[in-house]
């Protein structure tokens, strides 16, 4: 009986990113990844469980890399407001550093990765990644306004999630210097207004 071909899981995830970046997530199939890496279909299934598991594993790796870049930028920012601007700018920086991973990450939403088709450990890792972003949003709100309530976090979410999505991601303007300047200006404008006044809890 022939021995199964040995493959590098990182190489397989690289192939997922490259296929998704070139032709969209629909192009990522077990067969296509096998052809790109030399891994057998059976080996890929054994390693990742399913096509959904394969894509989710690649998405998770991209998300972890993005979160590391975002944290690096926030930690290097000279002040609280600039930390929010840096967090919003992370997608632009990530696209420059790791373009294929960036395309995969923002081509899919977390809620599109059905947990029904994923191993429990991978589902938990995806939830951890989502929690890391939520924790950062709360940290930024607290640093800037000494608040962690829903309204303050919602304002930070507008800056860090909604504005980058609207200005650079959905319009494919990640490499556009003017769009990047618009994004940074928009974030500063939102921060200048700030969140609505905190509502005191009922007595």
User: Is 198 within a domain?
Assistant: no
Q: Coil, strand, or helix at residue 114?
A: coil
Whether the per-residue pLDDT at 120 is higher than 90: the answer is: no
What does the pLDDT look like over 22-42, one tens digit per residue?
A: 888 888 889 999 889 888 888
Residue 202 lies in a domain: no
* Count of positions (residues) in the chain: 203
Residues 23-39 as b/e (b if ≥16 CB within 10 A, e otherwise) read eebeebebeebbebbeb
pLDDT in tens, 145-194: 999 999 999 999 999 999 999 999 988 899 899 999 999 999 999 999 99
Q: Is residue 12 part of a domain?
A: no
pTM of the shown model: 0.88
Is residue 107 situated within a structural domain? Answer: yes
Residue pair 180/92 in contact (Cβ under 8 Å)? The answer is yes
Q: Hey, which bits of 137-183 come out as E strands? A: none
Task: Tell me: pLDDT of 127 over 50.
Answer: yes
The larger pLDDT score, comparing residue 15 to residue 111, is at 15
| Per-residue pLDDT at 4 | 45
Provide the domain count of the chain: 1
**Tens digits of residue pLDDT in 182-200:** 999 999 999 999 999 987 6
**Please, which residues have CB within 8 angstroms of residue 109's CB and are 6 or more apart in sequence?**
none
Is residue 138 one of the residues assigned to a domain? yes
In a domain, 170, yes or no: yes
The reply to whether 43 falls in a domain is: no
Domain span at 138:
62-193
Reported confidence tier of residue 202, pLDDT bands at 50, 70, 90: very low
Q: Is residue 13 one of the residues assigned to a domain?
A: no
Please check whether residue 64 is in contact with residue 57, taking contact to mean a CB–CB distance below 8 angstroms: no
Q: Is the pLDDT of residue 45 over 90?
A: no
- How far does CA 14 lie from the centroid of its chain? 16
């Amino acid at each position: 009986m022939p021995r199964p071909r040995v493959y590098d899981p990182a190489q397989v995830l690289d192939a997922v990113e490259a296929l998704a970046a070139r032709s969209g997530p629909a192009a990522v199939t077990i067969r296509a990844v096998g052809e790109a890496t030399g891994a057998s279909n059976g080996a890929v299934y054994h390693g990742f469980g399913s096509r959904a598991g394969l894509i989710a594993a690649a998405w998770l790796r991209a998300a972890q890399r993005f979160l590391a870049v975002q944290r690096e930028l926030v930690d290097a920012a000279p002040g609280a407001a600039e930390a929010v601007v840096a967090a919003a700018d992370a997608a632009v920086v990530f696209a420059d550093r790791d373009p294929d991973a960036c395309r995969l990450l923002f081509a899919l939403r977390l809620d599109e990765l059905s947990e029904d088709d994923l191993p429990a450990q991978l589902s938990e890792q995806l939830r951890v990644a989502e929690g890391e972003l939520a924790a950062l949003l709360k940290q930024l709100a607290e640093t800037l306004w000494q608040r962690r309530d829903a309204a303050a976090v919602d304002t930070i979410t507008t800056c860090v999630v909604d504005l980058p999505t609207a200005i650079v991601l959905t319009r494919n303007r990640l490499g556009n210097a003017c769009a990047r300047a618009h994004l940074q200006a928009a974030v500063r404008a939102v921060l200048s207004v700030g969140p609505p006044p905190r509502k005191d809890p009922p007595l």
